Every structure is written in C-alpha cells, then in structure tokens.
Amino acid sequence: MRTAAWLSVLLWSLVACTHDEQPGVILVEDLRVMGDAATLVDGVATVELDYTDALDSGFVIPSARQAPGGAYDWSFKVPSGTSAQGLRYKFYYVNTSYRFPAMGPDGAQHPLAHENFYGSFERSSEAFRSTGPIPAEGLEVKERFRIHGDPREEAEFKDDQGRSLRWARNPRVGRYGFLVVIMTEEHFQQLELPQGVMDISAKQEGRFIDPFWYWLHGPGSTDKAVQVIVPEAQLQVVARPDLGGGIHIPSTAPTNSAGYTNTCGNTPALSRTAPFEQFIHYVDPSTRFANIPLIADVLANEYTPKDHDRYKALFRAEDMVTLRPMTTPTPCATVESDPERDRIILRNPASRPGDLRKENVGIRSRHGLAYGRYRVKCKLTRLLNDSDMWVGLTNAIWLIYDGAPGCMRRPCEKDGYMQNYYGGDDDARAPRVAYSEIDFEILKTPAYCPEVSFPPTYPQPIADSDDRAAWAYSTSDARMDKPGAITVACTNWDMACHDPESFGAGMPPVDQGRQDLPEPPLEQGLPGGDPESGGIGRGAFRG
Amino acid sequence: MTGHHGPAAVLILLLFSCSAPNSPEPAAAGVPPVPELELAVMVTTDPPPFDRPCKVRSQVAWQRRDRIIRPVLHWDMEESAGPDRLTTTFAHSGRSSMVMGTDMEYGPSICRKVNEVADTLVAVGMGFWMHCSDPDPLLTVVTTVHRGEEQLAWYGKDLRATDNHPGEWMRFNVQHPMKEIKLMGQDRICCFLWNRNASTILVDDVDLVFLGPGVLGKRSGHGPDLERGGGAAALPFATVADVTLLDPREQGIHVGKEAPPDSRHEITIRALGGMRFSYGPGDAVARLSSPTGEVRALVRAWHPTLAADLLDHEQVMVMDGPKGPIITGFDIDVDSNNGMRTIAASPAPRSAMLHLTLPVR
C-alpha cells in the first residue's frame, strides 16, 4: 500500500522531557518515551493510522509496518540504592484531544470521564509491573507499549463467543499523552489500591476509575511516596484512508459483477484491505415520485425553472412516470478507486431514453472513528445552470454509525430517544439507542432557518395555461433564496433526545467571540502538556 | 421541488408590484410615483387595509363547477378604502405600508370559506415583510377555523425575540397545516396578526395562500410505474433535430392586434409522412400520432438559441411547414373594459419551424 512505504520512514523517537506532578519521592530518572529526541517537532511525534489489517483487529498504533515489533519503546533508569526490593510501575496513555476533564467541579472524578479513551498495559487487567530487586549499580528498565482499540476489554465490545472486537472501540485520532506511576515494592504492598486502579477493566461502584483522575487529582495525587510522571512527549495520530486503496462490494449489493475492476469488487484481497465500500442506500419501498419523463441537459441550459413550473402545472398526470430513487444495479459502475491519482470518483448516471432513473451513488468508509476533525476534498458538479435551475444533485457527507456492538449513545435522561430512525410522534422511547447520524448536505433549497422565514409563502399553483401568474411560482418574490445561491445544510439526527441545553430546531446565533469552531467543555490537554493539544477542532484529524 | 428564478421577461411581469426594499427612512415628497399597474387592485369586503388586494396575483382563479376558487391573495398596501391604516413613514416597496399601532392588539381579520379558496385545503400560508423597533414585539400570526359559531381550531406562530431584527425590514412566513381537522366547504378560515405587546409594527407586501395537495385544477391520474410495470409504457419524446426561427408576423401575429381565438390544433405533418401533430390549450407538450391515431411521442418545442419552449405561451398557433410543424406562441392582454383580447408585447411572440425525428422504438 502507498502508506506503508512512506510511513516506514517515520521515526517515533521522542525525547522524554518529563516532569513530576507532585513534589515527593524521586525513584527513577531519565524517563524516555518513544526513544530519542532527534526527529521530534515541538515534542510531538505524528503517526498515521495503518489501515492494512485494521478491519478485524481495529487500529493498532503503531503497526508492525510502522515500528519494529509493532510497539514503541519507553524506559527509565533506577539509580543505585533506590530500593532493595525493587519498584512497581504502571504506564498509561490517554487521548487528550477528545476527552472530558478527568476531574469534576467537586473534585471527584468527572461523571463522564469513564468515556475517555485511555489504556495501560495491553492486558487490561494487568496491575503494576515489578522491576524485581535493584542491583547495586542500579537498573535500566526497558518497556514497550502500543495503543489499540477497546483498551479496557469491555464486555459490550465482545462477540457472542467472548472475543474482544477491538475495532468496535477504535483508538481516537488526535493527541495522546502519557502517565507513568512508580512506587517502591514496600509501599505497593502497604497500599490497598482500589481494584479499579489496579485493573483498568474493573468497575468500582458501577463505573471505571479514570487513572488520570486518580493519580493526578484523586487520592493518588497526595501520596508522597508515589512518583507520578507526565512525560512531555506526546503522540499525534492522524487518519488518512487511502482513496486509491480500493472499494469493496458488500454482500448486500446486487450480484451483477459486470462493473468490477481491479480496485473495485469483492475479491478476498479487497475484502481484507479496501478502506471503502460502495454504499447501497436504503430506499423506502413506499417512496414514489411522479416524474416528468423529459430528458434534458440541465447544465447546457436546456431546462429552466419556468419550464419546471409549467410542466408541473400542465403536464398530464397520465404522462408522468412513477419511480422511486434507485441504487445501482451494477456495483462498481458508478464508483471508482484510482490508485494512480489517489482519488475516488463518483458518477451519478444520467437518464437515457428507455432508462429513466434517479440514482443514489455513494461510498462509505469501513473503519469507524468516534471523533475527529474530518476534512474531505471533493470536486463537485455544478449544481445550477444559468437560469438558476438545480440539476437535482444533493452532495452529502454523512457521519453515520457503523453498527459496532456496544456503541450506544449516552443515556437520554429526560424522555429518552426515539426508538426508531423513522419514528414519529408516537414512536416508543428508549433510554439508549445506537443510531447516530450527522449529515452535511449541499443542494438547492429554501433555507430552513431562521424559523421565522420558513417555509416560504409560495403561491398555490393552478393548472391554467391562460394565465402565467397561475403557475409561474418560481419567479414569485415570496422566494427567500437568492439566485445563484445554494444551501449548505447540517442535520443532526439526535433521535429527539431533549437533554441538550437549549434544545430546539434550527441554528440560533452562537456568539463564539472569535472565528473558530465551538469549543465543547473538554479538557485542554494534560496538566503541563501542550495547550494546543486539546479540544475539538484543533488539528485532531489531518485528512 | 424548490423554486427558481426565471428569465427577466417573467420577472418583470410578476414583480412590478413589489419594488426593492426601501431603506427605513421616511418617504420624501419626491419619491417616484407608483407604477400604474401597481394600483391594479381588486375590491373586496375585507376590513381595511386588506380590502384592495393586488389583481395580478389575487385574481388567479380556478372554476370548479359553480364556484370560483381563488387560493392566493396579495396586498402591496398601496391602496385602501380606509387609508387610516396605511402610512408612508416606511415602506418595504412602493410608498406605503400598513401600520399596527399601540391601539391595535388584534389586526384586521381576513376570512374565507374553505370552498372559496381550495378544493382540498391542506395548509394555510401567510407571509409578509415587517418593520418594528421593539426588540421583542410579541407578534403572533394566527389562523383560526370556524364552523358556524364554533371555533374548531386555533393556530399561532410567534415571532421569537431571537429571530427579530429591530429596525429592519424582515420577512415573516407562516404555514399552518390543517391535517388535524376534517374541513367542510362552509368552514371559515380567518387569519390575523396578534400584536400582544401593543408595539408599533409596519407590515407590507402580504401574501396569504391556501394550499392544496397538488396543482389546483390538474386532473388526477397515474402514469406508468417503471418499477412495478403493467399498464401503458411511458411515452418518449420526439427529438427536435433542428429549429428554424421565423418572424411571427409572417404567421399573422402582430403585437397589439386582436388575438385569434384559442383552439385545439391538430394537423398532418407532411415531413413526417402524415404523422398527426396535436396541441390543445392547457397542454404542456404536443403529441405526435400515427395516421391511425396511436400516440407515438410527446413533443417539447424547445428552441436552443432562445433557450425557451415555444409552447410556453398563453396561446399557441400551429401550422404545417415544409420541414415540420410551425409553432407560433404569444401571450394575451385582456382589456378589462371590453374584454378584448390582444396580442401582448411582453413576452414577445415567437415563431419557429421544428424538424422532428421520432424516437427509435
């Protein structure tokens, strides 16, 4: 794969500038995380997610293609005479770009901190490791770590045979920080650490204990006999799916293979490695549109809004043809993965005489990520012709749930979620649902907001050819959209949970005081870390 | 389907009664006079200043048996038999607007019987431009439904303070669906503005529309279902291989002259081996039939240079030409005094000969 070749030149050798979080005992020195400082930029190493084998196993950072043995080094030195019986130590990582503060306003663990993406040793139940007795001349401890999905190995992310589905809770993109906790063997034996601290997969009183709260803000932060170190080295994780890496055709697609190519189809190789699949839209069988059966080149100005008004009003009902939006009968015929130019091409097929159709065309990524700043670069077809007639295409980017087990929305406290995607006012309510969808769509339509001006007061059309004013509503000054203007819309399928503050329709003005994305109440990096490392919208995803 | 702006000719025809928004300054003595057409109003019994809706939109109608349905009303607030409610202080268009002062909590109510405005009423829409200096005028647009003395329903949409733009002209649109009520023809629908804060509110260019489920007056029916199959096949369109532009005057069509009577045209096209070309008033497209009467194709009289459909006129005349049908389209002006129908200057008459080829079957 393209990425594998040049990712291998990335060296994750970070200097381990560190600082201790609280004054107290100094047990170790020269803590290094990810090797030397030679290639670091401002203390941050950057790595791209390796998609090669990530479909079943989830992303692993680093992969075997990115670092020897598929792991990063970390080490520390124990000076002579530190402790005869040796030391106990534990290593943690956490995604700092997308996390809740570890500590709540009352000093206790933040009620949502358990959602943070943190991990420790690969076997989640492993507690503190031991150095063993320290030789007289001291000791250098060399360890390795990697970041992987489902680091707490939670029950809800397992299949029916008890196997961990790490892809169901993939590592988040963005910045990662680290934490090392060290104490003497004697102190370790005296301490009665909670099980949820010893074992990150264990719950205490029904919830996980965030080690970054426990050791930096909670009971562990006041223990002077414990050395708590936050390395200044950080890791930036970026996802860049390879657009030339192929498109897989899922088994739910039509079986016609006439359109298959080397980079689009259902071969075992594409099934294993392709980062995208052709998206076959669900079309409600009851959806039917009566269409004017005219074929005209809209972008060549062969069809105008006035034409559409007139045909809509005066075209005989029995001459209209009824059909619903379609999906492709020939997979790969309308989607193409181009490895030469690293791109994907989507083509919406035109109607032809005898083959009148409206088709949905799309692709979907095959690897789910919960957070990130997504950047999609697309060249779009013109949407309007010279007379402001829309070609009918809606360009859309959807962030949509991937069906992973265990990925449920946070409980809706007030009145629950609508249980079904198409649920109406009478739909049953559920405290938790899995469905999630945020859409960005580019089309020609009246603005839905502000609510005060929607919907426009279009005249009622009348089938009267003798009076142009009876049917020519497109030229009505009741129209609120401007000639040449298109709409860029965002829809959050919130499943009607009323929990959010100021829940409502539309987009009220938000005074951010600056030209940037809204900042959610997420923690701005680890204490002592780079303040640029935290918060949604700060370089989390470089696509 | 969203609406779209059309060519300038149509814009002029429909927009003459609504000029561009004025800046919110008092109208000076030297303001341009309102065009004469803007004063073309209808007379109704609605309370002033809603007693003079603009003809150009409000008179569109559909006759269903013994009743006339007028689903659209538009007021430009330039004329009323009771002008006390009009002010020239600010206007969104023209010279004047309606004022709701501190003395008016409830605006004049516009009422219609259901069978006067719709065949099947599914929603009532109201839209207007408003200007108010109050940051939170507590304005509500109200629609009520009455059966005899009983009020069946009350709908309201409030202007939220967060949506208000004090001191600016802003558009307020409302749509009240009627789906919850089984309406009867004699039920009355009333719309009015409720000025709950007794603010001074200026209102201009008001639209009131009574919306049905589709196009009013269009015959119901179903064409072929391409997925389910069965029934007749979809009719293809004939290809317009070439168009020869002609002078409408050569076809006897002169602007300002009396228009010929409108009628159905059915002619034999020699260039198409005796195929029949038919077009009737109210049709969107023409039809090509075999000599035995079998409809073979639809015809869209599209002219690529004009970027227009020649059938897009209020009246059409068809004759046989050496290469195919000669189509001449023109609009009609009707003299309201004597009912005389003359050929309109705008949009200008157009004429062309179409060279048609039949689709391959």
Domain contains B21: no
End-to-end CA distance of chain A: 17
Confidence of residue B361 (pLDDT cuts 50, 70, 90): low
DSSP of B173-241: EEEEE-TTS---TT-EEEEEEEETT---EEEEEEEEEEE-SS-BTPPP----BTTT--SSPPPPBPEEE
Query: pLDDT-derived band of residue A416, with 50, 70 and 90 as boundaries?
Result: very high
Listed by number, the residues of chain A in 373-392 with a beta carbon closer than 8 Å to a beta carbon of chain B are 387-390
Interface of A with B in 250-309 (CB under 8 A): 288, 290, 293-296, 301-302, 304-309
Q: State mean pLDDT over B74-81.
A: 95
In chain B, the residue whose alpha carbon lies closest to the alpha carbon of A357 is B226
Q: Determine, for residues B60 and A464 on separate chains, whether the beta-carbon distance falls below 8 Å.
A: yes
Biggest CA–CA distance in chain B, Å, is 75
pLDDT of residue A507: 62
Mean pLDDT of the A223-230 span: 95
Nearest to A320 among B211, B223, B332 (CB): B223
Do residue B3 and residue A465 have CB atoms under 8 angstroms apart? no
* B265 shares a domain with B204: no
The verdict on a CB contact (< 8 Å) between A456 and B127 is: yes
Type of residue numbered A487: T
Q: Which residues of B touch A308 (CB under 8 A)?
A: 1, 4
Please compute, for residue B293, the number of CA atoms within 13 A of its CA located in the half-sphere on the CB side: 0
Closest chain B residue to the Cα of A472, Cα to Cα: B10
Over range B34-46, report the average pLDDT: 72
State the nearest Cα–Cα gap between A457 and chain B, in angstroms.
6
**What is the tens place of the pLDDT at every residue in A25-48?**
889 999 999 876 446 678 899 999
Q: Band of the pLDDT at A533, cuts 50, 70, 90? A: very low
pLDDT for position A142: 96
pLDDT at B18 exceeding the cut of 60: no
**What is the C-alpha radius of gyration for chain A, rounded to an integer number of angstroms?**
29
| A178-192, A477-491, A513-527, B214-228, range with the lowest pLDDT | A513-527
- Last residue of some domain: B159, B194, B211? B211
Contacting residues of A for B72, CB less than 8 Å apart: 459-460
- CB-nearest to A464 from B62, B160, B235 is B62
Name the least confident of A191-200, B150-159, B332-341: B332-341
Query: In this predicted structure, what is the pLDDT of residue B162?
Result: 85
In a domain, B121, yes or no: yes
Contacts of B13 in chain A (CB under 8 A): 468-469, 475
Q: Are residues B90 and B180 in the same domain?
A: yes
Place of tokens 């946070």: A410
Query: In B, which residues are within 8 Å of A387 by CB distance?
Result: 4-7, 307
CB pairs A-B closer than 8 Å: 236
**Nearest CA to A180 among A385, A380, A29, A284?**
A29
* Cβ <8 Å between B281 and A453: no
Is B219–A305 a contact, with Cβ atoms under 8 angstroms apart? Answer: no
Would you say residue A534 has pLDDT above 90? no
Using 50, 70 and 90 to split pLDDT, how confident is the model at B243? Answer: very high
Query: Do B285 and B186 share a structural domain?
Result: no
Q: What is the ipTM of this complex?
A: 0.86
Is residue B58 domain-shared with residue B132, that is, in the same domain? yes
| B56: nearest CB among A445, A464, A469 | A469
Rounded distance between C-alpha atoms, residue A10 and residue A36, angstroms = 13
Residue A528, pLDDT above cutoff 50: no
B177/chain A closest Cα distance in angstroms: 12
Q: Determine contact, residues B259/B343, Cβ cutoff 8 Å.
A: yes
Residue in A with minimal Cα distance to B214: A461
Contact in structure between A244 and A337 (CB atoms under 8 Å): yes
Q: What is the dihedral of CA B281, B283, B285, B291, to 10 degrees?
A: -70
Q: Do B47 and B85 belong to one domain?
A: yes
List of chain A residues whose C-beta atoms are within 8 Å of the C-beta of residue B61: 462
Position with higher pLDDT, A208 vs A533:
A208
pLDDT in tens, A246-279: 999 999 999 999 999 999 999 999 999 999 999 9
Whether A460 sits inside 8 A of B11 (CB atoms) is no
**Among partner residues A316, A444, A475, which is closest to B6 by beta-carbon distance?**
A475
Residue A41 confidence (pLDDT): 77
Range of the domain at B270: 239-357
Q: HSE on the CB side for A470, CA within 13 Å?
A: 23
For the residues B261-288, what does the mean pLDDT come to?
A: 93
Cβ–Cβ gap B211/A460 under 8 Å: yes
Chain centroid to CA A463? 50
- Give yes or no for residue A13 having a pLDDT over 70: no
Interface-testing mutation among A294, A468, A473, with chain B (most B C-beta atoms within 10 A): A468
Cβ atoms of B307 and A304 within 8 Å: the answer is: yes
pLDDT of residue A493: 87
Q: Is A439 on the interface with B (CB under 8 A)?
A: no
Q: What is the average pLDDT across A185-194?
A: 95
- pLDDT higher than 80, residue B315: yes
CB contact under 8 A, A304 and B6: yes
Provide the pLDDT for residue B56. 85
Nearest chain A Cα distance for residue B299, angstroms:
10
Instruction: Measure the CA–CA gap between B54 and B77, rounded to whole angstroms.
Output: 9
Calculate mean pLDDT across residues B194-223: 93
pLDDT beyond 90 at A513: no
A474-506 pLDDT per residue, tens: 766 666 677 889 999 888 888 989 998 877 766
Cβ within 8 Å, pair B284-A483 = no
How far is Cα A203 from Cα A209, in angstroms, rounded to an integer? Answer: 7
Per the CB < 8 A criterion, the answer to whether A119 and A92 are in contact is yes
Hey, what are A44's tokens? Answer: 């941050």
Mean pLDDT of the residues in chain B:
87
Confidence of residue B6 (pLDDT cuts 50, 70, 90): very low
> Per residue in A287-337, pLDDT tens?
888 899 999 999 999 999 989 999 999 999 999 998 888 999 999 999 999
Which band of pLDDT confidence, cut at 50, 70 and 90, is reported for residue B73?
Answer: very high
> Are both B56 and B179 inside the same structural domain?
yes
pLDDT score of B284: 94
Tokens 């192929």 correspond to: A246
Tell whether the model's pLDDT for residue B181 goes beyond 70. yes
Helices (H) and strands (E) in chain B, counts: 3, 24
Percent of chain A with pLDDT over 90: 66
Look up residue A277 and give its amino acid.
E
Partner-chain residue, chosen from B72, B126, B312, that has the shortest CB–CB distance to A306: B312
> CA B71 → CA A489, B111, B210, B217, distances in Å?
32, 12, 5, 11
Residue B1: is its pLDDT beyond 50? no
Closest partner residue to B215 (CB to CB) among A302, A446, A461 is A461
Name the closest residue on chain A to residue B209, using Cα atoms: A459
| Statement to judge: residues B67 and B203 lie in one domain | yes
Handedness of CA B186, B192, B194, B198 (dihedral sign): negative
Q: How far is B83 from chain A (nearest CA, A)?
A: 25
* Chain A residue nearest residue B5, CA to CA: A475
On whether any CB of chain B is under 8 Å from the CB of A504, the answer is no
The count of other CB atoms within 10 Å of the CB of residue A477 is 17
Is 60 exceeded by the pLDDT of residue A535? no
Tell me, yes or no, if A311 comes closer than 8 A to chain B by beta carbon. yes
Mean pLDDT of chain A: 86
pLDDT at A401 over 60: yes
Q: Are residues B270 and B346 both part of a single domain?
A: yes
Asked whether residue B22 is assigned to any structural domain, the reply reads: no
Q: Do A463 and B302 touch (CB under 8 A)?
A: no
**Cα–Cα distance, A22 to A44 (Å, whole number):** 24
Whether A323 and B6 lie within 8 Å, measured CB to CB: no
> How many angstroms away from the CA of B360 is the closest CA of chain A?
9
Ramachandran quadrant class, B164 (left: phi over 0; alpha: psi -120 to 50; beta: rest): beta
Angstroms from A450 CA to nearest CA on chain B: 7
Q: For residue A16, what are the CA distances in angstroms to A7, A23, A28, A73?
A: 22, 19, 13, 11
Range in A37-51, B90-104, B109-123 the model is least confident about: A37-51
A289 min Cα distance to partner chain B (Å): 10
- State the pLDDT at residue A131: 96
Among A184, A224, A233, residue whose Cα is nearest residue A22: A224
Chain B residues with CB inside 8 Å of A489's CB? none
Count the residues in chain B: 361
Work out the pLDDT band at B336, boundaries 50, 70, 90.
confident
List of chain A residues whose C-beta atoms are within 8 Å of the C-beta of residue B232: 318
- Tell whether the torsion through CA atoms of B111, B114, B119 and B124 is positive or negative: positive
Q: What is the CATH number of the domain that holds B189?
A: 2.60.120.260
B309–A509: do the CB atoms touch at under 8 Å?
no
Alpha carbon distance B154, B157 (integer Å) = 10
Overall domain count for chain B = 2
Of A390, A452, A467, the CB nearest to B163: A452
Q: Note whether B169 and B287 are same-domain residues.
A: no
Q: Which of B41, B6, B44, B82 is nearest to B308 (CA)?
A: B6
**Domain residue spans in chain A?**
14-238
Q: Got the DSSP string for A293-309?
A: -----GGGT---HHHHH
B45 in any annotated domain: yes
Percent of chain A clearing pLDDT 70 (strictly above):
86
Q: List CB contacts (< 8 A) between A483 and chain B.
A: 5
A483 to chain B: nearest residue by CA? B5
d(CA A102, CA A522): 10
- Cβ-based contacts of B2 with chain A (< 8 Å): 390, 444-446, 481
Domain contains B11: no
pLDDT band at B223 (very low <50, low <70, confident <90, very high): confident
Residue A52 above 80 pLDDT? yes
Residue A537 has pLDDT above 90, yes or no: no
